[in-house]
Amino acid sequence: MFIKNRGNFDHVNLVAIDGTRFFISYQEYQKALACNLSFYVMNTIHLLFVSCNPHSPLGVDFPKKEFQNKLQQEILCHVIDVKEGEKCDLSMKEVSKESVLTDSCHV
């Protein structure tokens, strides 16, 4: 709606409780930014890690380590290859609120 009516708005701020409330494709997000729409959240999401799967359901396989390393370069938290079954230390210990705030990345 906002993108179609972009000439009617000078600047719009969209605010949500957290990032999971925004369902928008990357292309739509880029169009929204070009139309002076801004996205804000009241509560950040604390990620402990990101899992990756170098095996596409469409039958395409990516080089395992290269795929994981490229993701790791772009993401500020630990990247785990789900196919390799890499163990995460966080699953073996009790996670406190303090450790989540210090050990996680913020999205």
Residues 35 and 57 in one domain: no
Which structure tokens are listed for 86?
């890499």
Question: Does 73 lie in the same domain as 22?
Answer: no
pLDDT at residue 20 greater than cutoff 50: yes
* pTM for this model (two decimals): 0.51
Domain count for the chain: 2
Range of the domain at 66: 46-106
Q: Measured in Å, how far apart are the chain's first and last C-alpha atoms?
A: 26
- 37 and 54 housed in the same domain: no
Torsion angle (degrees, nearest 10) of CA 31, 43, 77, 81: -80
Three-class DSSP category at 84 = coil
Q: Residue 77's pLDDT is what?
A: 86
Local confidence band at 83 (pLDDT 50, 70, 90 cut-offs): low
